[in-house]
Amino acid sequence: MKLSVVLVLALVALASSDVGPNSRPKSNRPGRFLSLPVPQKCANRPKQFQFGRHNYFFSGNVPAHSQQKVDWLDARNICREYCMDLVSLESLEENNMIFRLLQQGNVPYIWTSGRLCDFKGCENRRDLEPKSLFGWFWSANQQKMTPTNQAPAGWGFNPWSQTGHKKTRQPDNAEFDINGTNESCLAVLNNVYEDGIAWHDVACYHEKPFVCEDSDELLNYVASTNRGIRL
Percent of the chain with pLDDT over 90: 84
Q: What is the pLDDT of residue 14?
A: 42
Q: Give the E-state strand segments of 142-196 in sequence order.
A: 143-144, 185-190
Is pLDDT above 70 for 79? Answer: yes
**Mean pLDDT for the stretch of residues 182-203:** 98
Residues with Cβ within 8 Å of 67's Cβ and at least 6 positions away in sequence, in order, are none
**Mean pLDDT for the stretch of residues 92-117:** 98
**Whole-angstrom distance, CA of residue 218 vs CA of residue 81:** 9
Q: What is the pLDDT of residue 29?
A: 52
